[in-house]
Amino acid sequence: MPSTPLHPDRPITPPPISLRHLWRVCNRVGWCAAIALAAVGITGCQGMAMYPSLDSAQLRVIDASPNAGVIDSYGNNSALAYNLSFGTITNYIALSPGYYQLTADRAGTRQALVAGSQSLAAGKQYTEIIGASLANMRQTVFLDRSTPAPQGEIAVRVINETTFPGSLNVTMVSMASPDSKALRSSPLAVNLGSGASSGYVLLPMGTYAIHLTPSGAPLPSAPATLLSGVQQPYPSGAVRTAVLIDQPAAGAQQPLPQPSVQAIIADDADAQ
């Protein structure tokens, strides 16, 4: 979900809000602000940046570890999000700029699974990804693009958080025209290793599907295809992050030697 737009020419003054209204909002969208957690003792909800400002840094958290179980996220020992399951993307959370110790704990405990330090700057957006298998968990923080793509274009990056044993080729596949069945492929990344990012790539606005093949295979190569996603629209100005994660097999308790792959899409920015 995109962050609240910021206006550099005037300060943001939040309107009055009652606790009852806040509770209704939390129930409707599945998010709980830290103030509601403190006031009524609610657990198991994710933090929500209600009124971010130009003086704030913004951080969202993605759980991309296929077997870490449910996790809680902390920054400097303050809860950022509770009960994150595999594939969850939080909303952006407004934080005071500064140096943070970011920790992913086993849910309901303070048992740290992975931790690291990161400086967060005012007016910037970041994505913290908890990835890899439990035995080799990693925490990576990426700087996000917070401004829309140019008119008529989109900006897309892809981050490989799969446990696939090898690097990946990633393309965006679209119809050549609304009246044509021909496909047009736009490469996003070649030889994208585990934990790596393609950086943002500008493409024409349109409807695209993400297509993955192992490195060394033709682009695209049907026999070696790891993912051929569904087509979805990307409007003018859209900025998106596609995070590649495992697709667990039904009933599997441990990651497979060569897992299936899925893509989850995070909204970084949109045209105003």
Rg (CA), the chain: 19
The total number of residues written for the chain in this structure: 272
Statement: residue 264 has pLDDT above 60: yes
pLDDT, average across residues 150-167: 94
Tokens representing residue 189 in the block:
């990344």
Residue in the block written with tokens 């401004």 = 147
Decide: 269 and 147 in contact? Cβ < 8 Å.
yes
Residue in the block written with tokens 């981050």 = 159
* Confidence band of 14 (pLDDT split at 50, 70, 90): very low
Statement: residue 86 has pLDDT above 50: yes
Decide: 231 and 208 in contact? Cβ < 8 Å.
yes
- Pair 43, 104 in one domain: yes
- Pair 199, 111 in one domain: no
- Pair 59, 110 in one domain: yes
Residue-wise pLDDT tens digits, 212-263:
999 875 555 444 778 888 889 999 999 999 999 998 765 545 544 556 899 9
pLDDT, average across residues 63-71: 95
The reported pLDDT for the residue numbered 272 is: 83
- Pair 106, 25 in one domain: yes
**CATH for 255:** 2.60.40
Would you say residue 53 lies in a domain?
yes
Domain boundary among the residues 113, 144, 175 is at 144
* Sign of the C-alpha dihedral computed for residues 142, 144, 149 and 154 taken in this order: positive
Decide: 59 and 92 in contact? Cβ < 8 Å.
yes
Residue numbers of the domain that contains 255 = 153-269
Would you say residue 8 lies in a domain?
no
Across the chain, mean pLDDT equals 79
- Pair 140, 158 in one domain: no
Domain boundary among the residues 144, 179, 197 is at 144
Would you say residue 220 lies in a domain?
yes
Decide: 83 and 44 in contact? Cβ < 8 Å.
yes
SS3 state of residue 134: helix
The reported pLDDT for the residue numbered 179 is: 60
pLDDT, average across residues 72-78: 96
Would you say residue 136 lies in a domain?
yes
The reported pLDDT for the residue numbered 217 is: 59
Peptide bond into 220 cis (omega under 30): yes
Q: How far apart are CA 183 and CA 189, in angstroms?
A: 18
DSSP state of 97: S
**CATH for 69:** 2.60.40.1120
Would you say residue 3 lies in a domain?
no
Domain boundary among the residues 80, 109, 144 is at 144
Residue-wise pLDDT tens digits, 92-126:
999 999 999 999 999 999 999 999 999 999 999 99
